Amino acid sequence: MVFDIEMIKSVYAGFPNRIAAARKVVGKPLTLTEKILYAHLSEGEASRGYERGVSYVDFKPDRVAMQDATAQMALLQFMQAGRAQVAVPSTVHCDHLIQAEVGADTDLEKAKDKNREVYDFLSSVSNKYGLGFWKPGAGIIHQVVLENYAFPGGMMIGTDSHTPNAGGLGMVAIGVGGADACDVMAGLPWELKFPKLIGVKLTGKLSGWTAAKDVILKVAGILTVKGGTGSIVEYFGEGAQSLSATGKGTICNMGAEIGATTSIFGYDEKSEAYLRGTGRAEVADLANGIKEHLTGDAEVYAHPERYFDQVIEINLSELEPHINGPFTPDLAWPISKFAAAVKENGWPQKLEVGLIGSCTNSSYEDISRAASLAQQAVDKKLKAKSEYTITPGSEQVRYTVDRDGFLGIFENMGGVVLANACGPCIGQWARHGAEKQERNSIITSFNRNFAKRADGNPNTHSFVASPEVVTALAIAGDLTFNPMRDVLVNEEGKEVKLDEPAGLELPSKGFAVEDAGYQAPAEDGSGVEVIVDPKSERLQLLEPFQPWEGTDLAGLKLLIKAKGKCTTDHISMAGPWLRYRGHLDNISNNLLIGAVNYFNEETNKVKNQLTGEYGEVPAVQRQYKLHNIGSVVVGDENYGEGSSREHAAMEPRFLGVRAILVKSFARIHETNLKKQGMLALTFDNPADYNLVQEDDSIDIVGLQSFAPGRQLTVVLNHRDGSKDEIKVNHTYNEGQINWFKAGSALNLVKENAI
C-alpha cells in the first residue's frame, strides 16, 4: 500500500462539518466543486463567501505530485526552503525523460543510462526529504496517481498541466508550477483565485464507436482553448454516472486543453468499483461513509443554471466520434464531417502513424477496446497501412494487458509497444525522417497537438481522437476513412467492415504487477546526502533572484513582440531540451525560440537594439543582461497556454526580462510569472498591442504605488522620438506584490523559515 490512509481518514473526518459550515456561509445548495474547495480552506481563512473569478483564496492541498522534468527545478527550489521533510505526502514520477525510438525495453535502458545523473538526484533528494519515488518505467504520473493516490473529495496539486486527470475519481487536482509545489511541500498555504464554475450535464449513454474521449473533444470544440480559463468544469447527470472512472479521467485530463483550472466528476458506483479494483477497498469504504458529500446537492443538478456560471448539455446517445485538429486541440470535427474537411483543407490524406496510449488514454478499458479492433484486423486479414504504437500508462496496466494477451494482439497487427512513459505525446519521439520536415499526417489518442510538439516537424499535421478511432484509421492508413460506414479491402481482395469495438472497464482477473517501480523514502533522511556536481550540464543549484530595486523601470528594451499563438512550447520547448530541466542557465538557451516575431514573421530572429543586427532570442537577451539592461516581452491572446512548465517563467526572469505584456494570459503561466518575481501585465486596450514598435525603449511607471486593482502605465518610447503612453492591468493581490518586491515567492519562503 503506497497511499496514505491516515491522511484520507483525517480529510474525511472533518468533511461533513466543513460542508455544513460552508452551507451556512453560502446560504444555498453547493456544487461538488464548492464542497471540496470549502473543505480545503487553509487555516486562518475567514468563514466567508468568495466571489468567483475575483477572490484569491488560500487552500491546504492534501498532497503533491511531480513529474521528473518539473520535479528537478521544484526540488532544487525546495532545498532552499530550510525544511527537513515535506509537509504533505508528495511523490516524484520519472516519465518525461524516456525517449521513444525503438521499443520499450531498449528505450528504457537507454534512458536509464543517459539520465542516470538526474534519476540519482531525484531518488536521493526524495529519500532525504520524505517523498515517494516512482522509478523510470513505473508509468506516467497521471495514470499512476489515478491508480494509487487519487481519492474522492481530496485536493492535490501537481507540476504538470494534466494533473486534473485525478478528477475522474472526484478529486480537485490542479496543475501548477514548481514554485507552488515548493510552497505546499514547505507547509505554506496554496493560493488560487476562486474559480468560476462551468457545469456539463451529460444525458444518455455512450455506445458503439463513441468513447469518453469524444466528450472532451466535443467540449473543446464548444469552449475553445481559452473558454475554460479561470473555471472548474463539473460534470454531472445520468450520463456522467454511466462512464467508467478511467473514462472520466480521460475527460478531466484533457480539460487542460480548454484552459480549465481543473475538471471533476462526483463519486458513484463506477468510482467505487475502480477503487476496489485497484486495491483500495479501504478508501471506498471510507468514501461510502460520506457519500452524500462527495457529489453536488440534488437542487444544484436539478436547476444547474442557478448555480453554475455556464451550463453545457451533451446527449451521449447522440454524440458522434470526434477528430480534433490539426495544430490545435479545439478544432473539433464530428467523424461524419471529417473526411470532407481533410479534402477541403488539403491536409495530407495518407496517415503515416497512429499512436495510442499516453496519460490521457492508457487505461485497461482503452487498450482492450483498441485491441478488439487490432484482433479484427488480424482475423479479417487486414494489414495496418500506417505505423502503429502503443504507450501503456503504467507498469500495472502494461503487465495486466500483457497477461491478458492484448500486447500480443497489437504486435500481430504490426504495432510497437513503447515504454511506460510520456514519449511522443511530449515530443520525446526520435521519429525517423522528421528532420526532412515533409508534410504528413499522424493521429493520436493524446491530449495536445500543437505544431512541432510530437516530432519537431512543423509540417506534421497532428490530429486527436479516441484510441478506437486511432486504431481504425491506422488500419486503413487513410484520414478520410470512417469506420462507422466505410469498408476496407483485405489481402484476399475482399471488402470487409470493422465491427464496433468492445472491451472491459476493469480486468476480469484483476490487476497484477510484479514490480510497480515504487521506492519508499528513508525513515530518517537526515543522513542522506544530495550531490550536485558543479560541472554538471544537467543540474545546477539555484541562486536567489534579486529583489525589486524600489523604483519604476526605465529604458527596458523590447525583446520580442510575439505574434499569434505562443504556448509554453514556444516559450520553452520540450523534446531534446528536457535534458536541461534541472539546469536553469543551459535551458535558458531555448527562451522563446519557437515564438513568431511580429516584425519579420520568423522564429528565433529578433533585433538586437545594441547592435542593430538580428540574432537568436536567447543570445540577444544575454547581451542585454551583460549590459545590465532589462527587457519586455509582448504577446497576444492566451499567452503561455499549454504545459505547466515553470521554466517558461524562470528563463526570462533568469536572463533579465522584467515584464511580460500581453492581451491575455493562460492561468498557470500567469501564476508562474508572479511566483518568479516577474511583472505579468495585460493591455487595458488590446488594440494597444499594435502600438509596440521594433526599436521601442520601454518604461513601466507606477510601481512605487503598486497595489491591487490599480493600473500601471507603460511608456513606449519610439525610435523617432515620439512616444505612446498606455494603461496596463494586472491581477496581483497584496501577497503577490510582496513576491514581486522580494524578487520571488521563494525568497519570502526562505525569509519566513529563518
Residues marked active site are found at 95-96, 160, 448, 643, 645
Please tell me the distance from the alpha carbon of residue 96 to that of residue 116, in angstroms, as a whole number. 14
Distance, in Å, from the CA atom of 232 to the CA atom of 52, rounded to the nearest integer, reads: 11
Residue 637 DSSP SS3: coil
Q: Other CB atoms closer than 10 Å to residue 69's CB: what's the count? A: 27
Residue 142 to residue 377: CA distance in whole angstroms:
31
The residues facing 100 across adjacent strands are: 429
DSSP bridge pairs for 488: 496
Q: Strand (E) positions, 445-586?
A: 460-464, 488-489, 495-496, 518-519, 553-561
Contacts of 551 (CB under 8 A, 6+ apart): 703, 704
Sheet with 231-236: strands ordered across? 262-265, 231-236, 196-203, 310-315
Give the DSSP per-residue string, 35-81. HHHHHTBPTT--S----TTT-EEEE--SEEEEEHHHHHHHHHHHTTS
Phi, psi (5° rounding) for residue 546?
Answer: -75, 145
Q: Which residue has the cell 480521460?
A: 250
Rounded CA separation 201/181 (Å): 32
C-beta atoms surrounding 62 within 10 Å: 22
| 431/417 Cα distance (integer angstroms) | 15
Query: How many CA atoms within 13 Å lie on the side-chain side of 727?
Result: 6
Q: Nearest-CA neighbor of 560 among 594, 587, 588, 589?
A: 594
CA distance 158 to 153: 16
Closest CA to 429 of 139, 140, 100, 114: 100
For residue 705, give every residue at least 6 positions away whose Cβ sits within 8 Å of its Cβ, in sequence order, or none: none
Q: What is the dihedral of CA 379, 383, 388, 390, to 10 degrees?
A: 20
Q: Name 393's Cβ contacts closer than 8 Å, sequence gap at least 6.
A: 139, 140, 142, 143, 144, 357, 358, 359, 362, 363, 420
Measure Cα distances from 357 to 184, 205, 472 in Å.
Answer: 31, 23, 15
Say which amino acid occupies 551.
T
C-alpha cell, 267: 463519486
Dihedral angle computed from the Cα positions of residues 314, 318, 319 and 321, in that order, rounded to the nearest 10 degrees: 180
State the pairing for strand pair 332-334/679-683.
unpaired
